[in-house]
Amino acid sequence: MTVKTQPVRYSAFNELGFKETIQRLVAKTKELYLKDDIPWVIGYSGGKDSTAIVQIIWNAVSELKSEGKATKPVHVISTDTLVENPIVAIWVDRSLKQMKKAVIEQDLPIQPHKLTPKTENRFWVNLIGKGYPAPRYKFRWCTDRLKISPSNTFIQDVVKKNGEAILVLGTRKHESTIRTTSMENIENRSDNTRKNDGLNVNTQLDRVWVYTPVEDWTNDDVWSFLTQQKNPWGYKNTDLLGMYQGATDGGECPLVVDQSTPSCGDSRFGCYVCTMVGEDKSMAAMIANDEEKEWMIPLLALRNEIDINDSNKDKKANKIARDKHNRDFRRMNGSLTVHISMKEFSEQKDLTDSEDIFELLAQYEDNTDFKYENLPADIVRGPYKQAFRESMLRKVLQAEIEVRKYGPTDVKNLELLTLEDLEEIRRIWVDDKNEAEDSLPLIYTEITGKKYPGAQRAYSPVINHSILSQLKNFCIQYNDPDELKYQQLRNLLSIEDKYKHQLRRAKISDELETTIDKGAFESIDNARRFALAKVKNEAIVKLNRLHNVGETTDFLQNIVNNLQILDAKKELSKVKKYSTYYSEIITTDYEPDEIFSLEKKLVHGLIKLYEYYIYQINKSFALLDKKDIEKQEINNRNAKFLAVDTLIATGSNQ
């Protein structure tokens, strides 16, 4: 009979045992602390890893205090993004308060700090105020503004005052293979001159060293430490375990007995508005595991309003179409940028002999709630429109009311938007975007039933609600379906009103010119056609050039310069194979015949690509034509109904 034995599970405590390992780590920390006068900064998020490192440092400093050697400061910094999961935010707040109380009682040089982003960097200020679209992989604007900038500013201030700083982090190699590789690469850098001290160079901040005391620990090692070692500032680690348990699917955090058992450490707490993940699993699990946490549902709903991710293909297409509908057709600077979908691109497909485009349109299906937004070639959308930003303001204020009403005592005074935030959003709308309606105070009163507590703005006899309402109605009479005429005229009036009392009006001409340029189109679809036609014409010119001389010896022998003249290099990144061809042409020492073959392949590939561009743009033009026909049919039908209603009304009056 054979007996199967389970492989020994790795643990940082295997070699020396739990007690000896912790004692040595505390001793190493004490030794490192005494090596110099450089102050320490500990990054604390309230999670298990950062709690573990604060405990280790706290215990080391406490022992040094009893020896009369705890002389230099240790800063504990926690950044509140102001859009954190409120359960976690409450937890961290309480912990920091308890730390402040404990350091006074224990007379330790530990200084807890709560950091927040500058008002102009806050999430809702950027999304509702400036109109930044919800963060996504190609536009991840949130992390630096909300998380990195506040902590980096604090650390740089410490460096400025002291020359250097030692940053203590809870990063662990066992979090992922990517993390392992990253940490080991930093360890082995040539400029990592304090490696023997257990420190690593910081790749982002100058004159900052990094100490990672639990870098070799696993999730289970962290929990073993937290459940066996008393929290030195009087907080309960069992409550921390309970918080992780509540954020785990099914509400279970089992004792790990073999490698198949999941650990509690897989839970991730983050911002309730985060759209970088498919769904907020931790908050969803908290709500599912505890009916008393259903008050957080409005926060999940806010995230869903701006999210475009979905595992269901049709639902995702609908979310993307909705997102495009809610965003301006112009970028922040007023420019138009065209994106051509590469989903249907294939070198094998001969587009010159492809199916008739109108046959393809007959098969075209758009089941989204916002038809003709997901075109195969289209302009890239810019910031959120005014109407959507106003709608989101209403929803955030309403969510705040509901959370306060149904949540526990700790959130009765929760502010999703502070007065500082509201005033900055209002300033951006009125002063930067020239949205003279000044609608924020009205929306605030509409939702809360209270008078807006912000500053009073001067009444303008030129631009007020009555004048703007008349202007909007006037523009409607002159066919302004997307309110572009109204926006342009309102903005021009607003700019002139803004500068009327200023002695120096140097910038007014630039602002007026920008506003006139941004209002150059009579409708959004007019702008789409203009931008697509421009890109199509450019593609035709490049295609003709390649057809005419692309395979000639003169062109191929100087292909690098010729592609630059043709402005074709930027297209190579669209297809990985083409960028590889180009890279091999300019970097490898192939035989002339091999280089010539690669150059011909590259030219053929670009010809295929430009043919595809033209094909996709033509398809988009046809879809826009189809949209116009459908719109005209609806208008004709409505006109007939109106005529019938008029006849009926006339007859009944006689």
Q: How far apart are CA 549 and CA 539, in angstroms?
A: 15
* Domain shared by 477 and 576, yes or no: no
Confidence of residue 635 (pLDDT cuts 50, 70, 90): confident
HEC string of 81-109?
A: CCCECHHHHHHHHHHHHHHHHHHHHHCCC
Q: For residues 462 and 603, state if they share a domain.
A: no
Over residues 572-604, the pLDDT tens digits come to 889 999 999 999 988 878 888 889 899 999 999
Percent of the chain whose predicted confidence (pLDDT) is above 70: 93
pLDDT at 391: 98
584 belongs to a structural domain: yes
User: Looking at the domain assignment, is residue 166 inside a domain?
Assistant: yes
Whether the pLDDT of residue 6 is over 70: the answer is no
**Residue 3 scores a pLDDT above 70:** no
**Same domain? 616 vs 510:** no
pLDDT band at residue 362 under the 50/70/90 scheme: low
Residue 29 lies in a domain: yes
For the stretch 414-423, pLDDT in tens is 999 999 999 9
Number of Cβ within 10 Å of residue 590's Cβ equals 13
Which helix H or strand E contains 166, and what residues bound it? strand 165-168
Lowest mean pLDDT among 271-275, 450-454, 645-649: 645-649
Q: What's the CATH code of the domain at 182?
A: 3.40.50.620
Evaluate whether 70 touches 115 at the Cβ level (below 8 Å).
no
More confident residue, 175 or 96: 96
DSSP string, 263-315: PGGG----BTT--SSSS-HHHHHHHHH-GGGGGGHHHHHHHHHH----SSHHH
User: How sure is the predictor about 291, in pLDDT bands with cuts at 50, 70 and 90?
Assistant: confident
Which of 498, 522, 546 is the endpoint of a domain? 522
Q: Domain check: are 607 and 491 in the same one?
A: no
- Whether residue 180 contacts residue 171, with contact meaning beta carbons closer than 8 Å, is answered with no
Clarify whether residues 491 and 610 are in a common domain.
Answer: no
Mean pLDDT along residues 402-427: 96
CA 551 to chain CA centroid, Å, is 45
- DSSP assignment string, 505-541: -TTHHHHHHHHHHHT--SSHHHHHHHHHHHHHHHHHH
133, 139 contact by CB (below 8 A) = yes
* pTM score over 0.85: yes
Tell me which residue range forms the domain holding 566: 525-643
Which pLDDT band, with edges at 50, 70 and 90, does 519 fall under?
A: confident
| Domain annotation covers residue 552 | yes
Question: Does residue 617 share a domain with residue 473?
Answer: no
| pLDDT tens per residue, range 215-232 | 999 999 999 999 999 999
Residues 353-375: what's their mean pLDDT?
74
Listed residue (345, 342, 376, 337) closest to 619, CA to CA: 376
Do 593 and 498 belong to one domain?
Answer: no
* Structural domains of the chain, count: 3
Structure tokens at 602: 């590259």
The residues that bridge with 200 in the sheet, in sequence order, are 210
Res 258 pLDDT > 50: no
Higher pLDDT, 606 or 174: 606
Average pLDDT for the chain: 89
Q: Which amino acid is at 12?
A: A
Q: 210: which strand partners?
A: 167, 200
